[in-house]
């Protein structure tokens, strides 16, 4: 997993310029013996084995899924934040705009690759504030605003004007990729740009390999969707089958003050800026991790959006959840820990072996209202005599099944909370 991660990190892939990294991921998938298809946009859909043999010598159950139309989907993204050339400046430097959402504060000082329209022509440079030298500007270097209008790219070539940039073949619209400078400490901390996204890809591929090597019996057809436009908001808006009953995105947790996320464990968010995740699936993931001794946390991500949002907004009718590896300094100087990546891979692998969340109901896209499982897991009823506002709430009518008895006050007797 770590070898794949560091190779992914060394392959530039800002949104809109992802062909190279997707080819690399495709080669890994082929080496695993898995089938994969590429969408017109360039996203990768990888199909995991429907069912594998078990250690007790049973034969493969290739027909396991023929009676179940439901599927599972793991969604990760290979694209990263980056920049794009917006202007060739008269001083021989470049104005840039961001690809994805991040502050120019975390671009200042970044070493970059300027990727031209010519496959073998790539230049290096540095993103710098407009005033960089205290020897030249004194205290003015500390007074500059933080803004993309206040930075420029210094190109590592003998060029001092716009014409020189044009002679190099640099044009408006060229991609500017931030170099990662990836490293891992003896204590297991991984520091790098672009862990957001690429660590999720490495986790998903590790889970796929463990499923194959361990000959795990997956009860539901499962695909891995690797998207390429997550950082700009529409990554999983295409590629998710209408048969997907459970959609889980693997992405980064928000490790920061006033957050509850774990940098060395697994975080399950209950809500992000798009809204709450599926109640039943998120709780299932939490219980599954706790039961198997993983370090688990719950959190709320206020300024956060993932591929789950794009899929749901595009019409995916799936239960959806987010599983997050720890990440400190997201979209800036990022850091995670190998323990978090391993535990996420374990949780994904465990989840793939379980039945669907509401097993029989979730097998099909539609069903009768009377069969919906929440009829056996009702919300807490208002009680006669409760005073939550002026006046008493009393005798609130609520549907009861034909086989559910009630007392004179309309309150169900014993067993109301049983599943």
**What is the distance between the alpha carbons of residues 248 and 72, in angstroms, rounded to a whole number?**
8
pLDDT of residue 302: 95
- pLDDT-derived band at 58 (thresholds 50, 70, 90) equals low
Position 54 pLDDT exceeds 80: no
pLDDT of residue 417: 39
Position 279 pLDDT exceeds 60: yes
Position 385 pLDDT exceeds 70: no
Per the prediction, the chain carries an average pLDDT of 89
Measuring CA to CA, which residue among 246, 309, 253 is closest to residue 276?
309
Structure tokens belonging to residue 413? 């007797």
pLDDT of residue 405: 56
Position 213 pLDDT exceeds 50: yes
- Residues 6 or more apart whose CB falls under 8 angstroms from that of 351 comprise 248, 284, 285, 288
Position 48 pLDDT exceeds 60: yes
pLDDT of residue 386: 57
Q: What mean pLDDT comes out for the span 395-410?
A: 52
Q: Looking at per-residue confidence, does 21 or 52 come out higher?
A: 21
**What is the distance between the alpha carbons of residues 301 and 308, in angstroms, rounded to a whole number?**
13
pLDDT of residue 254: 94
> Phi, psi (5° rounding) for residue 328?
-95, 135
Q: What mean pLDDT comes out for the span 160-167?
A: 97
| Cα-based distances in Å from 301 to 30, 78, 128, 275 | 35, 21, 31, 10
Query: How confident is the model over 75-121, as pLDDT tens digits?
Result: 999 999 999 999 999 999 999 999 999 999 999 999 999 999 998 89
- Residues 6 or more apart whose CB falls under 8 angstroms from that of 57 comprise none
Measuring CA to CA, which residue among 46, 36, 93 is closest to residue 71?
46
pTM of the model: 0.87
**What is the distance between the alpha carbons of residues 14 and 281, in angstroms, rounded to a whole number?**
31
**What is the distance between the alpha carbons of residues 243 and 73, in angstroms, rounded to a whole number?**
10
């Amino acid at each position: 997993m770590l070898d794949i991660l560091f190779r992914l990190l060394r392959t530039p892939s800002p949104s809109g310029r992802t062909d190279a990294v997707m080819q690399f991921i495709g080669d890994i998938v082929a080496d695993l013996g898995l089938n994969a298809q590429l969408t017109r946009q360039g996203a990768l859909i990888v199909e995991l084995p429907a069912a594998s043999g078990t250690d007790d010598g049973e034969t493969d159950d290739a027909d396991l899924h023929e009676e179940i139309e439901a599927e599972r989907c793991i969604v990760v993204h290979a694209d990263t934040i980056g920049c794009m050339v917006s202007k060739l400046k008269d001083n021989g430097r470049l104005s840039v705009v961001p690809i994805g959402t991040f502050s120019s504060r975390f671009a200042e000082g970044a070493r970059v690759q300027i990727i031209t329209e010519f496959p073998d022509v790539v230049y290096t440079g540095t993103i710098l504030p407009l005033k960089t030298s205290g020897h030249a500007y004194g205290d003015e270097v500390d007074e500059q605003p933080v803004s993309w209008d206040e930075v420029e790219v210094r190109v590592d070539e003998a060029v001092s004007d716009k014409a020189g940039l044009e002679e190099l073949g640099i044009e408006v619209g060229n991609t500017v990729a931030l170099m990662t400078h990836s490293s891992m400490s003896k204590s297991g901390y991984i520091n790098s740009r672009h862990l957001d996204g690429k660590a999720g890809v490495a986790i998903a591929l590790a889970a796929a390999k463990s499923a194959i090597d361990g000959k795990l019996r997956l009860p539901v057809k499962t695909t891995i969707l690797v998207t390429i436009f997550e950082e700009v908001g529409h990554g999983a808006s295409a590629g998710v089958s209408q048969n997907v009953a459970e959609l889980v995105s693997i992405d980064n947790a928000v490790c920061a003050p006033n957050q509850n996320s774990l940098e060395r464990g697994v975080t399950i968010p209950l809500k992000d800026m798009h809204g709450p995740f599926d109640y039943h699936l998120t709780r299932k993931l939490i219980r599954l991790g706790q039961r198997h001794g993983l370090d688990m946390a719950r959190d709320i991500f206020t300024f956060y959006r993932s591929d789950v949002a794009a899929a749901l907004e595009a019409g995916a009718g799936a239960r959806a959840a987010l599983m997050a590896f720890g990440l400190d300094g997201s979209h800036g100087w990022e850091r995670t820990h190998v323990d978090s990546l391993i535990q996420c891979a374990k949780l994904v692998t465990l989840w793939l072996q379980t039945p669907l969340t509401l097993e029989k109901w979730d097998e099909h896209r539609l069903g009768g209202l009377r069969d919906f499982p929440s009829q056996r897991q009702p919300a807490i009823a208002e009680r006669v005599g409760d005073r939550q506002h002026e006046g008493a709430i009393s005798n609130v009518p609520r549907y009861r099944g034909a086989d559910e008895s009630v007392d004179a006050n309309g309150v169900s007797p014993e067993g109301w909370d049983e599943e």
